[in-house]
Amino acid sequence: MRNIRYLTAAVVLYAFLASAAPAHAYLDPATGSMILQVLLAGLAGALLFFRRIWAFVRGLFAGKDSEESSSPD
């Protein structure tokens, strides 16, 4: 009984994938450079974000001197 369900699911999936119509889409050469630019900007933004988070967490655990002891009076 279980094998029949898997077989039926496989046949339905195959029929669904085999009946797909062509997309007739066009990607010009600038699209690749635009995608690359978006990926690099996202990577740079993520690095900056995590760098700032790391500095914040490190500042929480770093023992900062009080302003009274560090002033040259």
- Domain positions in the chain are 33-61
pLDDT at residue 53, as a whole number: 94
Give residue 24's region: left, alpha or beta (phi > 0; psi -120 to 50): left
Q: What angle do CA 41, 25, 28 make, to 5 degrees?
A: 50
pLDDT at residue 28, as a whole number: 84
Q: What is the pLDDT along the chain (73 residues), one digit of tens a residue?
A: 678 888 999 999 988 888 777 778 887 888 889 999 999 999 999 999 999 999 999 988 886 654 444 555 5
pTM (two decimals): 0.48
| Exposure letters 50-69 (e unless 16+ CB within 10 A, then b) | eeeeeeeeeeeeeeeeeeee
Return the SS3 of 21.
coil
